[in-house]
Structure 1
Amino acid sequence: MKIETEVQLANMTTFKIGGKASYFALVKNIDELKEVILFAKEKSIPWAVLGGGSNILVSDDGFAGLVIKIEIKGLGFREEGSVVKIAVGAGENWDDLVAMCISRNLYGLENLSGIPGTVGATPVQNIGAYGVEVKDVIESVEVLNTESLETEIILQAKCNFEYRDSIFKKSEGKKYIITRVNFILSQKGIVHIDYKDIKNYFEIKKIAPTLSEVREAVLEIRKGKFPDLKVFGTAGSFFKNPIIKNTEYQSLLLKYPQMPSYKIDENFVKIPLAWVLDNVCNVKGVKNGNVGQYEKQALVLVNFGGASAAEVKKHAEEIVLCVKEKTGIVIELEVQYL
């Protein structure tokens, strides 16, 4: 295994932005991962993990430390009654896994079709789309503890999954590097088509969808909302949908009576931020230099070509400020800064 120096990171991310890593290593197994962590410790430099680079914005100055690109592969299927357990290397492509599971008629991942990135990143972010979150099909996550250099298995209940969040994003989980994710999928399931966009899609088609048809629908819907990564630089949805108290929401309805929401429980609701950006801040399709909001989805920030990380951050700060000034809601980033 080779540890490279002064490696450009921009083309390893979907944003196509960023400077160089002082050190860079591509790891294909746990032994190599241990080796590069020891290297970082010996040099007293920080390290950062890179998967598919689809949810990250790299600084224009790059990263003054070691960037570890995870390419640990491997797939294992095991039937247990009506379910199939799947052990998947963190470096496997996420959407390839989804397609493979659907081809085997396994239920659970179909609504998560088309999300870019690697398998190892999915529990970190607790990725979700169209009414489904990956936490619902994860049995456990295998990690390397970078403090002890021992491998551990973290059960689903210990991953502290929340909306776009997990233990792996919190301080206590920063010592872990995900090496494998273990899923449980059903051989006899039902498709989840209650989410508005999917429901409308099949009401127009007037069919009872199969697994593959749900995947096709999700891919088509995403194509209409998200830019082509071959054309534009982007990390998809840049912000989280805010979750606020129901009492706050009722107050906002007095000013914005059309503001939609999704009930979380008796006390909290989730606000679709795209509606706020489109109808309150009026930024859908707005371009600010080389950066802007995608014309078909206000949640998506786009690098139209030649944008810097500083430009993206400045534009994002303006969005955050607008939402706070007009609604009182403090929104959080979904994209991670490196």
Structure 2
Amino acid sequence: MHISEHISLKELTTLKIGGVARYLASVSEVSELREALHFAEERKLPVIILGGGSNVLIANGEINSLVIKIDIKGIEWKEGAPPTLPTLKRGEGKGGAEDFVNVIASAGESWDGLVVEAVRRGLWGIENLSGIPGTVGATPIQNIGAYGVEIKDLIEWVEVFDTKVGIVRRLSNVECGFAYRDSIFKHPEGKGFIVLRVALRLKKGGIPNLAYRDLKEIFNSQFSILNEREKEERQSRLTPQDVRKAVLDIRSKKFPDLGKFGTAGSFFKNPIISKERFDELKKRFPNLPGFPLTRFDLTSGERSNLVKVPLAWILDNVCNLRGYERGNVKLFEKQPIVLVQNGLASSEEIESFAKEIATRVKEKTGIDIEWEVQKVKSMN
């Protein structure tokens, strides 16, 4: 393990913003991680964990910390592994152990690289999550999701290094506390966990998840000359590669080129509000889309009827902010939930811009929106 000093973090994030780290260590195995943590403890330094840098805003200035970049690699493909998740999702059916493959991927692996290989093997489950930048280790932390799929529905377990007691632990799916773009890793009880490996359950045979409107429209267009029965039959023969290609096509039209812009992708979460609040907003904005959700409180046993509202629609149709630009920062014209910068913005400028957007949404709708991007403060 090599520890470097006074390293700019700007080029280690997709947002292309970041201060100078006092120390930077890249670790490729657990023993090196232990060594790096010991180095920080001896010097009483805070520790910052960095993966692919695709979902983070790092402050400008001096970062008086040890930044640990997780480069642990390795993927195992275990056939015949029995599923342990309590629910079966669309397309899984009721197959036995022989129908599943457990994929155990180390935290430093490229997420989209893993998707590419799963699709090449004809495995179903993560094809809708194609094109998402970053590493495997970030996927359970964020509970990444796109085009009708969330990673929580595919994760068997997450292996972590528990910095509080210095041991490697394995958390079950339930123990990870998954929710919309949320997990135990974002809360105090999980802040001491460093993700090492993630086990996913994929299926050898399946049917495409085309619940997302844009995805469905692509294939409806391709099969437009067919009748409904023929269309359903053709869609049932789609491969994971077909779905991946369609997802990448959608993403290319909605998301900015990382070579041209600094961006962290979707900067804000889609708000989840009560059914009553949604109904009130629907009276004011009749075309407001919403996706019903049901949330169970395991402690009280109570059920809440909620609605997830597409923030991009609010920014575009309610706030008229599509393409809104201020200084070096703007909302992307093709997808207003995405914030981009021209290479000259500071972290303070990004934060000020994001606060303005949140204020405008609050004024128009009464909804408080949250960042999806994680913030790292400067520590002098």
What TM bracket, shorter-length normalisation? over 0.9
Cα distance in 2, alignment partners of residues 249 and 180 from structure 1: 39
Higher mean C-alpha displacement, 184-193 vs 88-97 = 184-193
Moved over 3 A (4+): none
Q: CA deviation at 1:63?
A: 2.1
Cα distance in 1, alignment partners of residues 320 and 347 from structure 2: 23
Cα distance in 1, alignment partners of residues 55 and 32 from structure 2: 24
Q: CA deviation at 1:62?
A: 4.4
Is 2:272 the counterpart of 1:243?
yes
Cα distance in 2, alignment partners of residues 69 and 34 from structure 1: 13
Is 2:123 the counterpart of 1:106?
yes
Q: What's 1:331 paired with? A: 369
Q: Conserved in 2, the CA contact under 8 Å of 1:18 and 1:62?
A: no
Cα distance in 2, alignment partners of residues 22 and 161 from structure 1: 33
Q: CA deviation at 1:3?
A: 1.1
Where does structure 2 lack aligned partners over 5 or more consecutive residues? 81-97, 224-233, 295-303
1:126 aligned partner, one-letter code: N
1:30-45 pair list within 5 angstroms: 30-45=30-45
- Counterpart among 313, 330, 335 of residue 292 in structure 1: 330
- Counterpart among 303, 313, 336 of residue 275 in structure 1: 313
1:300 aligned partner, one-letter code: V
Q: What's 1:72 paired with? A: 72
- Counterpart among 229, 233, 245 of residue 216 in structure 1: 245
Is 2:156 the counterpart of 1:139?
yes
Cα distance in 1, alignment partners of residues 51 and 249 from structure 2: 25
Q: What's 1:149 paired with? A: 166
The Cα offsets for residues 156-184 of structure 1, whole Å up to 9 and x where unpaired, read as: 11100000000011110000000111111
Is 2:168 the counterpart of 1:163?
no
2:268 aligned partner, one-letter code: F
1:318 aligned partner, one-letter code: E
Q: What's 2:26 paired with? A: 26
Q: Conserved in 1, the CA contact under 8 Å of 2:122 and 2:239?
A: no
Cα distance in 2, alignment partners of residues 48 and 140 from structure 1: 23
Q: Conserved in 2, the CA contact under 8 Å of 1:120 and 1:180?
A: yes
Question: SS at the partner of 2:264?
Answer: strand
Is 2:118 the counterpart of 1:89?
no
The Cα offsets for residues 268-295 of structure 1, whole Å up to 9 and x where unpaired, read as: 1000000000111111111111100001
Q: Conserved in 2, the CA contact under 8 Å of 1:9 and 1:62?
A: no
Q: CA deviation at 1:123?
A: 0.2
The Cα offsets for residues 44-73 of structure 1, whole Å up to 9 and x where unpaired, read as: 111111100000011012422111100000
Q: What's 2:94 paired with? A: none
Cα distance in 2, alignment partners of residues 264 and 8 from structure 1: 42
The structure whose Rg is larger is 2
Higher mean C-alpha displacement, 259-268 vs 325-334 = 259-268
Cα distance in 2, alignment partners of residues 179 and 277 from structure 1: 37
Higher mean C-alpha displacement, 178-187 vs 262-271 = 262-271
Aligned pairs, number: 338
Is 2:14 the counterpart of 1:14?
yes
- TM-score, scaled relative to structure 1: 0.99
1:43-58 pair list within 5 angstroms: 43-58=43-58
Q: What root-mean-square deviation, in Å, do the aligned CA atoms of Structure 1 and Structure 2 show?
A: 0.9
